Each structure stands twice: as structure tokens, then as C-alpha cells.
Amino acid sequence: MPNYDVHMLSGIASYPVIVAAAGLAASHGAPLALTTMALVLGYAFYVLGSDLPDMDHPNALIHRGTKPIVSVVVGGAVYVNAAGSINVGEPWLNMAVEWGIAVLAAVIAWFAFTWMMPKHRGIVHSFLFAAVYGSLAFVLVEYGLNMTTGEGLYVGFAAFCGYALHLLLDGELSLL
């Protein structure tokens, strides 16, 4: 089975094939917008996707890299929602208590991330998750970044293809 370097370098090097396929599809009426920003974001999602299925393996670099990001995002979100709601005295003390609650949530997220992951090469190594990843990329681009639908569709397509590349390299082609 390919390792991290093989997956990532395959994603980095094979992107022109995806650009060509999308360009051909767009020239035949597919609603894909290959703008500069969409191409750059598509490249990022494609390369990330080329190793993302291994996030279900606790020793994988992508798992170890994603876990602290998820923890910080959870902690930050808890702080944003708790800010101003705690009153134990001085403003600095309120803030410290709110951050204490946020840090507790971040630590729980740290352990929950690994605990919630399915077994390695399970459902995360499937075309279903490739479609989920592509859909999330589309939603982020169109609704989170307010880009056009065509740009979102292109980035979602690139994300799906990067994820699928990993599955192809592993030789594990499963729908679920």
C-alpha cells in the first residue's frame, strides 16, 4: 500500500489531468467555472483529498494533523459561544473561566476524534466519503466563500477526484 509521500506526491503531480478533464467537460456544457481562484482552491482540496482517507488511522500523519485542528476549532467555537455568559467577578476572571470551559471542550474533542473514527479502511475509504468530501468542498466554496456555483462545482469535483485518487492508489474501491 502506498505511504504518505506516494499519496501526496501523486496528488501534487496529477492535478493537470483533473484540470484537463474539467476543462473538456466545461467545453461540452458542464457547469464548471475554472477561474484562477477555483483552480487554486481545487488544487488544495485535490491534494488534501489524496491523503484524507487515512484520517481513520491513528498513526497517519493526516490523522495526527487533523486532530489538533479539530480540537482548536471546537475549543474556539465553545469560547465564542460562552464569551460574555460567565460572571464570577472581574472581566479578566470571567474570560479565564470561559477559556477554561473552552479548553475542556478542546481536550474532549481531542480524545473523541480518535474514538469516533471508524476502523482503518472502513467506510472512510469509500466513494461515499469521497462524495461527502466533494460536497463539503462545494458548500464551503459556494456558501462559505460566496463564490459562484460553477466555481463551487469545480472545487467539489476536484476534491472528489483527489479523494478517489487515494482509493485508486490503495486498490480499495468500495462504494460504502
Contact yes or no for 158/43 (Cβ under 8 A): yes
Task: Please check whether residues 43 and 77 belong to one and the same domain.
Answer: no
Residues 66 and 111 in one domain: yes
The total number of structural domains that make up the chain: 2
Q: Tell me whether residue 175 is in a domain.
A: no
Query: Are the CB atoms for 22 and 153 separated by under 8 Å?
Result: no
Task: Note the pLDDT of residue 176.
Answer: 62
User: Is 130 within the bounds of a domain?
Assistant: yes
Are 141 and 126 found together in one domain?
yes
Same domain membership, residue 96 and residue 20: no
Q: Mind spelling out the 3-state secondary structure of 1-67?
A: CCCHHHHHHHHHHHHHHHHHHHHHHHHCCCCCCCCHHHHHHHHHHHHHHCCHHHHHCCCCHHHHHHH
HSE-CB of 143 using CA atoms within 13 angstroms: 6
Question: Are both 106 and 71 inside the same structural domain?
Answer: yes
Distances (CA, A) of 88 to 100, 101, 145: 13, 13, 38
Cα gap 45→43, rounded to integer Å:
6
Claim to verify: residue 11 and residue 32 sit in the same structural domain: yes
pTM: 0.76
Name the residue range of residue 159's domain.
4-56+121-170
Judge whether 91 lies within some domain. yes
Is residue 49 exposed (0-12), middle (13-18) or buried (19+ Cβ within 10 Å)? buried
Per-residue pLDDT of the chain (176 residues; tens, 9 = 90+): 678 889 999 999 999 999 999 999 999 999 999 999 999 999 999 999 999 888 877 787 887 888 898 899 899 999 999 889 999 989 999 999 999 999 999 999 999 988 887 666 667 889 999 999 999 999 999 988 899 999 999 999 999 999 999 999 988 766 66
Any domain includes 146: yes
Same-domain check for residues 99 and 66: yes
